[in-house]
Structure 1
Amino acid sequence: MKAFVIRTALSAFALWVAVSLVPGLAFDYGDAESDWAKLAIVLAIAVIFGLVNSVVKPFVQLLALPLYILTLGLIHILINAFMLEITAWITDHLTHWGLEVGSFFWAAILGAVVISIVSWLTAMLIPDDSRR
C-alpha cells in the first residue's frame, strides 16, 4: 500500500509539472474551489493515469513491437502520449473534472516527454527495495 501511495504521489507530481510547463495541457477542476479538492482531483487523475499505464499500455506495446525495433524505441514517446490522451478521454467522459490535452502533436507528445523525464528523476530519488 505504501508503494502505491508513493507511486501515485510521484505520478501526480509529474503530471503537475507537465501541466505547468506544457502549453495545451491543463487540469479541469470542475466545481472544486479549495486547494485540497484540487489536490484530490490531481491524485485521482494520477490513479487513472497509472491504471491506463498498467492495463492498456502493455497491449499497445506488444502490438507496437515491430515499430519499437524499426524506430529504435522512439515509438515509446508516441505510446506515452497516447496514454495521456486515453487518460484525458476517460476523465472527460466519466467525470466533470479531469485532464485536458489540447493537441496530440504538441501537447500530448511534449507532456509525455516531460512526464517521462520527471518520473525518471523522481525514481532516482526513491530507493528501490529490490536492490537490497
Structure 2
Amino acid sequence: MEIRRLRVQNIRSYESAELTFSSGTTFLSGDVGAGKTSLLQAIEMALFGFAEVEPEHLVRHQATRAEVALSFEGEGHRYEIVRRFKRVVRRGRTTFELERSSFSADGATAQYSQTELRQRVIELLGFPDNPN
C-alpha cells in the first residue's frame, strides 16, 4: 500500500489541510506540537475509524464536523476512504458520530457503515480476522 493523499478538516490543530505523498519513504519532521502525530492519527482514523483515541481528542475544539480522506494505491488499484463525523450532544455529553463513510475502488464508490468499512480495509490490507 502506498499512501498518495491525506486531506483533513477539523482534526486537532488542522482546520483544513491536504498533503500529497510521493512514492517511496516519507519523513515527517517538525517542532513539538506541529501536528506530526495528528497526521498519523488521521491516517489511522481514515483506515479504521476511531480506535485508541476518543473522538473528542481528535476533533478541533468547537468544530461541529470533522472529515478525513485518505487516497492510496495497492496491487494496481486506486482507493479512497472518506469518513465524516458530526458533533452530537446527548444528555449533556458531547460525542461524535459517523455521519458518512465511503470507500472508492478505481472510481467506483460505495457507502459503508463504520464496522463494514473497517472490515473492508482489514481485508484489503491482508490483516488476519482475529489477530489474537
TM-score for both structures, normalised by structure 1 = 0.30
As a proportion of its length, which structure holds more helix?
1
Which protein, 1 or 2, shows the higher relative CO under an 8 Å CA cutoff with sep ≥ 6?
1
As a proportion of its length, which structure holds more strand?
2
